[in-house]
Amino acid sequence: MISYVTVGVDDMALAKAFYSAFLPDLGYTLEEGPEGLSWELPVPKGQKPISPDFYVKPTFDGKPASSGNGSMVAFEASGQQQVRDIHAAALSAGGSNEGSPGFRDIYGPRFFVGYLRDPPGNKIAIFSSNPNEPGRDD
């Protein structure tokens, strides 16, 4: 299951106006932060979040947004070992490393992620936030 989709933009105000024109009609709510816009489906109390979330962010490397630079598809794994295994298998199948599996200081203490690009250059993230596994600070 796809967990979230991120697109990179150069003009956040224009992107906010554009996505605000139709995402609320699809049930998404907007949360703004210093890192960009987060569009999420509401989660009924006591239920698991509904996927996928949609994020609109500046590119991480500061270069102009384009297809593939700032665009990323993320897939949720069952745990940290599965993140490692999938990342390794994807590299063996012709992918390139964009960030070895591990915790990232800018994300929550349980967000374990590996980044790669497929052969044409599309960015992919494989992540786990399994609460039953050790976190970054454990």
Say if residue 136's pLDDT is above 80: yes
Tokens representing residue 99 in the block: 């960030």
Tokens representing residue 38 in the block: 């987060």
Tokens representing residue 27 in the block: 């049930």
> pLDDT (tens digit, 9 = 90+) per residue, 85-114?
999 999 988 889 999 999 998 898 999 999
> Which one has a higher pLDDT value, 37 or 138?
37
Say if residue 55's pLDDT is above 80: yes
Name the pTM for this structure. Answer: 0.67
Look up tokens 């150069």; give the residue. Answer: 10
Q: Residues near 35 by Cβ (< 8 Å), separated by ≥ 6?
A: 57, 58
**Domains contained in the chain, CATH given:** 1-58 (no CATH), 77-138 (3.10.180.10)
The average pLDDT across 114-133 equals 90
Residue type, 6: T
Closest residue by Cα to residue 119 from 85, 68, 81, 51: 68
> pLDDT (tens digit, 9 = 90+) per residue, 64-92?
887 667 788 888 889 999 999 999 999 98
d(CA 18, CA 117) in angstroms, rounded, equals 28
Give yes or no for a cis peptide into 52 (omega within 30° of 0). Answer: yes
pLDDT attached to residue 81: 96
